[in-house]
Structure 1
């Protein structure tokens, strides 16, 4: 941690000098506040955005700063919120006038009044985000720390500046932000604040799905998302946001047969996949891959516990979750659905003799996503039995090699049958009919089963034989 009492030397970016000059010319006080200061003290790579608070008009200050910069960047003004933003080099800088806020119970949108720097720090979510550095000539770089944010950083603690019940009830999104910061920074949430999140969990219902998803994505993109999801679970937030996930937190025993706790297994799978992908949608697939297990769980004496069809149902449930949380209903959703539906396919393959036919079908169905699917399935191996663990991974290596061999030889990834429907119609003088689909499907199946190679002449000869059986050719 940076231990300087004066941070003047750390504010070496030209933009801070320009803001200081603009502040002086306008005769208003300005400060850099929030995440930039926090990350500066923690020696972290800070985000490409900086928050500036002005004791006066933030919009006026932004316009003045733009005027003083050589290229005079465009200023985006948001009059409704009293904020303005400009881009300097590769950094977004947001300006806001210092303000104090009051809230109505039904909304997280505050009633805003002009205020002092202290008022603005009072409204911040956590003490580590209330730290401010002066950009004023007389005390440039001096730290303002009214809530012992430095101590909280030193002790790795997340706590609210004021009464946590007020902080979280006023803006319930702060509960998710607190858990996300704890996960990202490796901090602990102070006990009173943690209890307050539990007490106020139901308030999260007034927050839009988009804002919730933004925080969930940031948790999923940490090195170990299980930390954040366990906090969401412990505080009751997860049961409100993703009840399909908390439904997996159960273990039953009948006649000596038990099944694993699929909730904790899921979190382990998410952690397992993180070193191998930064794709948030593949991490979402890991999070949702077993959600169909709770509603499909059955017991019978012969097989014990079963979850037949959980992948197919899980794909449907994933779509409903995306709709409910206002996640993107596009290719990203389809990708997650596809991963969930296919999540057991390579695992089944790895337990049996790996045939070319089965691998061809896997590659055909997964298409360009086959590598992602293999990554997900390898993360899904959570057995604590070292022999089983080694066996599964060795078998997955065999599957991976088979995929390469089959793809090089048969080129079935996203393949189209060598003979088109139009050619079949012309050859047999057919109008659009089910016979065309039957022939195309038969050719595809023959290639996937290895009966014929994925080549035009072989497919043509096979089609003629099939056409005879269908009565399309008289012999």
Structure 2
């Protein structure tokens, strides 16, 4: 089969690399994801992998020098690879190789090999496709494992025995699920069984590498497809046991609760229709994570999960830490949304006070819209009338909050009187009393005792200062 590259936007580049290889008696092929996505007619990736049956580093240097002598080539001798950037593309060159793996490592022992050897070591048939750039057969598709047929049938299959493929490099189990989720493919039955059998070996992979694949699943169009596969294969138990702990329905005295694991996956899918924000999707994934440890059956009341939002928000940090996820603002954002996830529904009552609305505004700050997006995604009832009612309720709460904000300006709250001004009023140095007075001002504004106004705040501070025995200067 021949691939017509005449209309390819990178044709000129491919011709240049072909010429360089020819002049240096080297072979050269495009392999992997670029070929796959070209055949799938997807947007071409910005990284292109080239394989030669001689020295990949030499080919990279020669190609870069031929294209533009100013190009800087990065060489990785341990891996026998080299790469450089050109017009928004990442071009990587490697010598064809054979690989063998030790039991407790995913770092292979490498030896020189042929193109066929290199294709055999690839993770999946759809990633083992190659296009020749050699002048005698330029554009020829080399497909030893029927990867084109698997693309047509939407199948994820390994070139060699799946158990060996996944045991050699367990990260491939995550990649299989990621490709199934992002490409809407099905994992071939033997391959799926092999993942189940080898799931425990994921423990030899670094958390950072695992989470790169996990987050690609989270960013897919329908994350539940990948998340279900992680659960079905047993991988989720090794990655995030806090989620699998949500599985199951218990019954006591005829009363049950919903399966919070499958509910969570629905919420993630719901929110993914409205946002590509990875961390908002993570908030959806973890919004009920505190329900397993807080689940309790109370006589006369049924199943309760009291305080699950507060505990869940604390669990976020330990989960992020264990998974080697960023512990800065992204984690704090997820913690905040998990902690506040049940607050808006408590404000639906017509008797809700302005003080409660102000507190939600204050606590959520600039993330209020994201919080409401999460709350709406949390509506998973299949009863269309109930679903419409819940959404109307949230819209009413949002309207109430808007009215309060226009009146009181509490969002992104800044105290109308500063600590420095309070110190000047009473002739004080920094002290505990200043903190107490600032907190009292904030509470008075949130409770509606005073307006969010400088003069009212100043008068309030004077009176509260007297109660603390402070003298105005």
Q: TM-score, normalised by structure 2?
A: 0.96
Superposed counterparts of 1:198-217, under 5 Å: 198-217=196-215
Q: Alpha-carbon deviations, 1:411-434, whole Å to 9, x = none?
A: 222222111222222222334443
- Does 330-339 or 32-41 show the bigger shift? 330-339
Match of 2:3 among 6, 30, 40: 6
Match of 1:428 among 420, 426, 429: 426
Structure 1 unmatched ranges of 5 or more: none
- Does 414-423 or 251-260 show the bigger shift? 414-423
Write the distance in 1 (CA, Å) between the matches of 2:260 and 2:9. Answer: 51
Superposed counterparts of 1:296-311, under 5 Å: 296-311=294-309
Superposed counterparts of 1:26-425, under 5 Å: 26-70=24-68, 72-350=70-348, 353-425=351-423
Aligned residues: 471
Structure 2 unmatched ranges of 5 or more: none
* Residues 16 and 444 of structure 1, relative CA distance in 2, 3 Å threshold: same
Write the distance in 2 (CA, Å) between the matches of 1:81 and 1:211. Answer: 18
**Alpha-carbon offset, residue 335 of structure 1:** 1.3
- Does 420-429 or 296-305 show the bigger shift? 420-429
**SS of residue paired to 2:379:** coil
- Does 143-152 or 445-454 show the bigger shift? 445-454
Q: Alpha-carbon deviations, 1:312-368, whole Å to 9, x = none?
A: 111121111111111111111111111111111122223554443222111111112
Q: TM-score, normalised by structure 1?
A: 0.96
Write the distance in 2 (CA, Å) between the matches of 1:450 and 1:15. Answer: 68
Write the distance in 2 (CA, Å) between the matches of 1:6 and 1:459. Answer: 74
- Does 190-199 or 396-405 show the bigger shift? 396-405
* Residues 453 and 71 of structure 1, relative CA distance in 2, 3 Å threshold: farther
CA contact (8 A) 1:184 1:222 kept: yes
- Does 296-305 or 410-419 show the bigger shift? 410-419
* Residues 352 and 85 of structure 1, relative CA distance in 2, 3 Å threshold: farther
* Residues 55 and 11 of structure 1, relative CA distance in 2, 3 Å threshold: farther
Write the distance in 2 (CA, Å) between the matches of 1:396 and 1:297. Answer: 26
Counterpart of 1:463 in structure 2 is 461
**SS of residue paired to 1:29:** coil
Write the distance in 2 (CA, Å) between the matches of 1:26 and 1:337. Answer: 57
- Does 343-352 or 84-93 show the bigger shift? 343-352
CA RMSD of aligned residues (A): 1.6
